A and B are shown apart, each in its own frame.
Chain A
Amino acid sequence: MAESIHINSGQGSMNGQDHLLPIANVGKIMKQALPQGAKISKEAKETMQECASEFIAFVTAEASEKCREGKRKTINGEDVICAFKTLGLDHYADAMQGYLYKYREHVEKSEVERHHNKSLQIDITDELSTVRRGSTSDKY
């Protein structure tokens, strides 16, 4: 039922996969977050795809609200960070604030590299540590 929103092949070749992140990427991120040898069912990866899309939609919708409140038309980094705070994801807000600083610095420094379509490599270990510290607590 509702085949159009459920994954059949899970490999992006079916119609309707555009609303999901590629399962290979999602699976890789999950594996990297887990101890070596951790096993994840295919269904769990597919569910994670859906959850990730939900996350994107929800954060962006909230960021869009912030943008609208600021009477602007283009969502910027600050809108996204404000969205995290509104959604109760403060540790993401803190991590992303740091990332935003570094991103802007990197953009200023490497304009030429960006034009050559080089992928940005930005060290966000500090920010990740902030998030991981926050994620291991059970604050309610």
Chain B
Amino acid sequence: MAAIEGLPEIEEEEDREILNPLLPMGRVKKILKMDRDIKKVNSEALHLITLSTQLFIEFLAERSRTAAVEKKRKVIKVEHLRSAARNHPPTSDFLLDCLPKPAQAKPSASATSRPLPDDAPPPLPPGARRIDDFFSKPSAGKQGTSEDGAATAC
């Protein structure tokens, strides 16, 4: 392939890891259109949003694993996601920095979560929702918070 100006020359695809979109773009589009202010999104924007969401999931998963390993746990659980999100400022910002403090969190909350910074949370952009519910939802409703965290059928 011809080199793109400003970027290194692209090697043959078979020599490199090929990435297909691993997320359904139709669903991504549905999600972003839940914000009524969003009218039209072109194809390239949808691709970027889809791919960056994948990168975000990877990133948070890796960080969550780090949190789990630090606590000598083999199963990545919600509390590790919480720690990972809160320990990365750009991520915690867009999650509205509303992750519960350990004292306010459910009993199963991680004790390693850092306290929230003092600065005020940014204003809510349209369509954004607070992340509180995600991390504080009762975990005992569907399955026990056993250390193995084995997936059990609901």
Contacts and interface: CB of A to CB of B under 8 A. Distances in A.
Interface of A: 1-2, 5-6, 8-10, 18-22, 25-26, 28-30, 32-35, 38-44, 47-48, 50-65, 73-77, 79-81, 84, 87-89, 92, 95-96, 98-105, 107, 119-126, 128, 131, 135, 140
B135 A47 contact: yes
A22 B27 contact: yes
A98 to B, nearest CB: 6
A44 B64 contact: yes
A32 B48 contact: no
A83 B32 CA distance: 14
Q: By DSSP majority rule, is chain A's interface helix, strand, loop, or mixed?
A: helix
Interface residues of B, number: 82
A56 B90 contact: no
B128 A61 contact: yes
6 contacts: A6-B133, A9-B154, A28-B22, A29-B57, A40-B76, A65-B125
Contact of B57 (A8, A26, A42): A26
A22 B76 CA distance: 19
B61 A61 contact: no
A20 B23 CA distance: 11
B149 A76 contact: no
B51 interface: yes
Contact of B94 (A5, A20, A21, A87): A87
Interface in B41-57: 41-45, 47-49, 51-57
A47 B85 CA distance: 12
